Amino acid sequence: MLSWLAVLLAAVCVLSLGVNSWVLREHCLTTEIPSTISHPLKLWTLYYAFLLLVTWGEIFEMLGICTMFKFIRFLHDLLPIRKDPQVAVTNLRFGSVPVRLFQPKAPSSRPRRGIIFYHGGGSVFGSLDFYHNLCSFLARETDSVLLLVGYRKLPEYHSPIITKDCLNASIHFLKALDTYGVDPARVVLCGESIGGGAVAVTTQSLVGRPDLPRIRAQVLIYPVIQVVNLQLPSFRQNQNVPLLTGKFTARLMCRYMNIHRSWNRALLTGAFIPPEAWSKYKKWLSSDNIPKRFKTKTHQPCFPAPFNEAAYLEMKHLLDVENCPLLAEDEVIAQLPEAFVVSCENDILRDDALLYRKRLEDQGVPVTWHHAEDGFHGSVILFDKKHLSFPCSQEIMNAVVCYIKGI
């Protein structure tokens, strides 16, 4: 018996050593930490730990133990939740969507501002618990009633379930503002990453709804605004920058959009875009709309690649507005509320934020833009993680709080 245990222990040790060595080798060969990043070693180490957990999750998935997605969510939900004595927290369910309500305990002489928050995580990571501390901080610092939406995720749910869950939960909340003591004239939609994209889709979907209060403002923190042009300058410049690399971005997009990985090259090169569609959307999707200071003098790839009809049939849903809110018609964009847009210099999705900012401004929508020169994708969720936090994490959170308080 002891000999079998010894063999098992030795096998586990060898496997662990092999996994660590492989991840370290891949990490060292591919990861780039820009010089503008504060605490580069910290980011390097943090990303190495992330890759290690993802790799173990993939091993467990191959062994049939659990999916990589559930493994990572299980681990990040073990992080401690900070109970704020100034904020009352209530778990609710709006139909099939779990939500968490944060309400300041201090009495208020008038209805409070309302915030509806859609978390990030690429449809894989993130949860009510993982974003609890961030939302509690937002509710307290802005003296607002905040609703955190726990939309359904991979691997069971695909596009467009996130936007549908966010929209349905928001409508439910908007119809019951009196119940929660919220001023209907001061409701803000706020989201990070894929949650920022959900803000854009939801805000557009609510345009022209006379039965609901009009959204006062939208806050988009390094949002996913389009899944069509993956050859923008920021995609090429930051494809190896943590915490969101180009390879992982394409992988998540394929999984959420339910596209087989064999179409990855057609996705990256834009071969699925019909010529007539590109003629229509180029004015919004082209890298020509990116300010010169964000471009390098390196070779610009020919985009899109020659049209592949088979790829189009597989991926034509990427051109739907609910997956690409940047493509909404002008008359919809023109009716949107003012926006606060956050972009990060070292983020693969930086140019999504810049393109949406331009679309809004072109249609006369007031935009406040905050650009974090040392920022990177995912930095906001680290704002309260003490030794794992970065200067840009707190900087962005402070900017968001300041903007919302001004509403």
Per-residue pLDDT reduced to its tens digit, 153-182: 998 999 999 999 999 999 999 999 999 999
Shared-domain flag, residues 61 and 156: no
Tokens 């492989």 belong to 22
In a domain, 4, yes or no: no
In a domain, 264, yes or no: yes
Last residue of a domain, one of 76, 103, 122: 76
Per-residue pLDDT reduced to its tens digit, 351-365: 999 999 999 999 999
Q: 390 burial class (0-12, 13-18, 19+ CB within 10 angstroms)?
A: buried
In a domain, 2, yes or no: no
Shared-domain flag, residues 59 and 101: no
Picking from 14-18, 149-153, 216-220, 336-340, which range would have the lowest pLDDT averaged per residue? Answer: 14-18
Shared-domain flag, residues 64 and 203: no
What does the pLDDT read at residue 250?
A: 92
pLDDT band at 294 (very low <50, low <70, confident <90, very high): very high
Shared-domain flag, residues 144 and 225: yes
Shared-domain flag, residues 67 and 100: no
What does the pLDDT read at residue 21?
A: 83
What does the pLDDT read at residue 240?
A: 96
Mean pLDDT of the chain: 94
Shared-domain flag, residues 381 and 295: yes
Shared-domain flag, residues 219 and 158: yes
Shared-domain flag, residues 35 and 173: no
**Dist CA 175 CA 267 (whole Å):** 39
Q: What is the DSSP string of 246-294?
A: HHHHHHHHHHHTT--GGGHHHHHHTTTS-HHHHHHHHHHHSGGGS-GGG
In a domain, 285, yes or no: yes
Shared-domain flag, residues 229 and 350: yes
pTM of full prediction above 0.85: yes
Which residues are catalytically annotated? 193, 347, 377
Tell whether omega for the bond before 304 is within 30 degrees of 0, i.e. cis: yes
What does the pLDDT read at residue 386?
A: 86
- 8 Å CB contact between 348 and 244: yes
Q: Name, in order, each residue with C-beta under 8 angstroms of 29's C-beta and a sequence gap of 6 or more.
A: none
In a domain, 332, yes or no: yes
Predicted confidence (pLDDT) at residue 10 exceeds the cutoff of 80: no
In a domain, 372, yes or no: yes
Per-residue pLDDT reduced to its tens digit, 387-406: 899 999 999 999 999 999 99
Last residue of a domain, one of 30, 58, 76: 76
One-letter amino acid at 58 equals: E
User: For residue 58, what are the domain limits?
Assistant: 9-76
What does the pLDDT read at residue 19?
A: 75
Shared-domain flag, residues 146 and 52: no
What does the pLDDT read at residue 136?
A: 98
Shared-domain flag, residues 252 and 363: yes
**Dist CA 250 CA 255 (whole Å):** 9
Shared-domain flag, residues 100 and 235: yes
Predicted confidence (pLDDT) at residue 94 exceeds the cutoff of 70: yes
Predicted confidence (pLDDT) at residue 4 exceeds the cutoff of 70: no
pLDDT greater at residue 329 or residue 9: 329
Predicted confidence (pLDDT) at residue 1 exceeds the cutoff of 60: no
Average pLDDT of the residues in 271-275: 98
Average pLDDT of the residues in 309-332: 97
The distance from CA 129 to its chain's CA centroid, rounded to whole angstroms, is 16
In a domain, 1, yes or no: no
**3-state SS record for 113-172:** EEEEEECCCCCCCCCCCCCHHHHHHHHHHHCEEEEEECCCCCCCCCCCHHHHHHHHHHHH
Average pLDDT of the residues in 132-152: 98
One-letter amino acid at 101 equals: L
Predicted confidence (pLDDT) at residue 14 exceeds the cutoff of 80: no
Average pLDDT of the residues in 44-60: 93
pLDDT band at 25 (very low <50, low <70, confident <90, very high): confident
Predicted confidence (pLDDT) at residue 13 exceeds the cutoff of 70: yes
Predicted confidence (pLDDT) at residue 317 exceeds the cutoff of 70: yes
In a domain, 240, yes or no: yes
Q: What is the CATH number of the domain that holds 95?
A: 3.40.50.1820
Last residue of a domain, one of 51, 76, 101: 76
Among the listed residues 397, 343, 340, 401, the one whose alpha carbon sits nearest the alpha carbon of residue 367? 340
Number of structural domains the chain divides into:
2
Average pLDDT of the residues in 93-104: 97
- The proportion of the chain whose per-residue pLDDT surpasses 90, expressed as a percent, equals 87
